[in-house]
Structures are given as structure tokens and as C-alpha cells.
Amino acid sequence: MISHAASQRAQELAASGVAFVTATVVRTERPTSARAGSVALVLTDGTIEGFVGGACTEHSVRAHALQAMASGEPVLLRIVPFAPTGENVDQEGAVTVENPCLSGGTIEVFLEPRLPAPRVLVVGDTPIAGALARLGDELELEVVLVAGREVIPDAGDLALIVAAHGRDELATLRAGLTAGVPYVGLVASRRRADGVLGELRSDGATDEQIARIDVPAGLWIGATTPSEIAMSILASVVAVRRSTERPPQATIVPVVVAATAVDPICGMTVAAVASTPHAGTGDDTVYFCCEGCKATYARR
């Protein structure tokens, strides 16, 4: 069971928009030093806050937690003294790894990534903008209402939706296209949209950039009310979020996490961080699960 301190820490990290993984021990077979219900938090630099097992167990938890953060998918990590094939075994939603450091026990740890909500910038003070904010919260999106002149989008944003009814539209759309925001939408009638796109083209926007603007924004569902229009727009945003295909030069910046490496002696996957035993420098750095493997490598 997660402790009060760990729960508070998780809430602080989530409120600050910091990615982390909740690592929960769900099952053990003796002998192990961890108990079912133990919970730790793993940060993007590989830091583990809490206890889920000894040093060798921590290596596997750290490495696979970093992979879970990078993919955004939870995974059940089974750490056993001897894997069925002597190697890592991947299954849907689970991975079994051999940990030669274990003294005979087995530990199963559920790794659940907690990633910041994608940011959606909505420009305008209109009923549609307000509806986007309300519905976006249900979709676990961080909808930020801003004025056109205050918009500073970046490639890490999921969407930029301009619902300003003619105010600061050109500069805002240009900013979104330049930053490479995956979804850029303009709430406007087709007639007015043609005029706005024409001005953008005259101002130097390329045909490729113009084609990236979803206008009128949203899927065609015959929407008429602000809430219906907002729903149609968010459906397009979700489609972009879940799609493996992104518009040209438009990719969502992934969570930056520490890299992993394979111990050349025992084959264990470890985090490639300064606190992990290692030898060499730069591209020639080799990482190990323990000082014993490092010493064996040095004698070669």
C-alpha cells in the first residue's frame, strides 16, 4: 500500500507536470527483501524514491520503468532467478527478466507511467472556447485558454485551436505552424476561412503549411451548439493524439528519460545513469549491474 508520504509526493509531481512511474510490488516468492504492496516512484533520471527490493531488483525496476515512461504503456515486470529461456521474455503487457543477483526469489512489479497531460492551447474568449475547456478536462487534456497575443506554442503542445472570431488569427496560426504543433485548427466559416488562408499564403505560408490547418475545425457531425462544435474539434484532436502518423514536421515531443544499457557480463538491462556502475567515457561507456560484473569486465 502506498504510504502517505509517497502519495503526497506523487500528487506534487503530477501537479508540477513531471513524468514518473509508480512501481508497485504485487507478488513475491521467498526469499525476497520486498513485500507485496510496497510502492516506489521512479523519476525520469532513474532516481527511485521508495523501496521495491535490493540493488539488483532496483536495476531491473529502474530500466523497465524508464522504458514504460518512454512508451507511455504500463507493464507487469516479473523478475525471476532464471528466465524460461535464459533471456528476457516479452508478452503482451508483461515482461519477464532473469536477474542473476537474486538469491532464489521472484518479484512481480506493476509499473504504471504517470505522464503530464498533453497541452491544448485554445485562443479566444468565446462560448466554443469555454466548451473546449470543459470537455477537454474529461479527455485528460490540459486545455489552456489564452489571448492571441499571449500565445507561445511549442512542438510539445498537442494542439492549437483558434476560436477568436477574427482577433489575432494570422499571427497565432503562423506561430502554431512554425512551432510544429501537431494539430492546428481554426474555428471559422468556410467563406471567412478562405480569406484567412489567402492572407497567410500572401504572407509567405507554404501550401504544405496551409494544408495542415484544420478548417473549419473539427469533424463534420452537423454540430450547431458550442458544446457540439467543441466535441467535434476534440474528436479531431484525439485522432491526432492516437494516430501513429503525424503531419509533416509535427511530432509531439516525448518525455525525456534516461537511456538504458545491457550489462555485457550478465546480460541485465540497467539504466545508463551516473549512479550505475560503469567504465569508460562518452560513447565507449559500458554499464554494469554491480561492481562484481564491472571487475569481471576489467579482467578481460
Per-residue pLDDT reduced to its tens digit, 26-78: 999 887 788 899 999 999 999 999 999 887 788 889 999 999 998 888 999 99
Query: How is residue 199 written as a grid cell?
Result: 492572407
Q: Give me the residue label for grid cell 482577433.
A: 167
Q: What is the pLDDT of residue 251?
A: 39
In this predicted structure, what is the pLDDT of residue 19? 92
Q: Is the CB of residue 40 less than 8 Å from the CB of residue 48?
A: yes
CA dist 247 and 240 (Å) reads: 9
Q: How far apart are CA 65 and CA 136, in angstroms?
A: 28
**Which domains are seen in the chain, by residue range?**
4-116 (no CATH), 119-242 (3.40.50.720)
Of 177, 140, 179, 182, the C-alpha closest to 159 is: 182
When mean pLDDT is compared over 168-182, 195-209, 228-242, 277-291, the highest value belongs to 228-242
**Is 87's pLDDT higher than 80?**
no
Preceding peptide of 74 cis, ω within 30°: no
Q: What is the pLDDT of residue 146?
A: 87
- pLDDT at position 123: 92
Give phi and psi for 62, each to the nearest 5.
-60, -50
Torsion from C-alpha of 212, 217, 218, 221, nearest 10 degrees: -130
pLDDT value at 12 more than 50: yes
pLDDT in tens, 217-256: 999 999 999 999 999 999 999 999 888 444 443 434 456 6
Structural contact between residues 95 and 84, judged by C-beta atoms closer than 8 angstroms: no
The closest of 254, 265, 240 to 56, measured between CA atoms, is: 265
What cell was used for 234?
476534440
The pLDDT assigned to 86 comes to 43
Q: Beta-carbon neighbour count of residue 23 at 10 Å?
A: 27
Supply the pLDDT for residue 93: 84
- According to the model, what pLDDT value does residue 101 have? 66
Q: What pLDDT does residue 103 have?
A: 61
- For residues 43 and 278, what is the distance between their CA atoms, to the nearest angstrom? 20
Q: What is the pLDDT of residues 128-141, one digit of tens each?
A: 999 999 999 899 89
SS3 178: helix
For residue 20, pLDDT over 90 is answered with yes
Q: What whole-number distance in Å separates Cα of residue 69 and Cα of residue 256?
A: 9
Report the candidate in 120, 220, 209, 125 with the shortest Cα–Cα distance to residue 173: 209
Statement: residue 21 has pLDDT above 60? yes
Average pLDDT of the chain to the nearest whole number: 85
Q: Identify the helix (H) or strand (E) that includes residue 234.
A: helix 226-242
User: What SS3 class is residue 274?
Assistant: coil
Confidence at residue 66, expressed as pLDDT on a 0 to 100 scale: 92
pLDDT value at position 228?
96
Is the model more confident about 219 or about 3?
219
DSSP-derived secondary structure for 8-70: HHHHHHHHTT--EEEEEEEEEESS-S--TT-EEEEETTS-EEE-SSSHHHHHHHHHHHHHHHH
- What does the pLDDT read at residue 246? 47
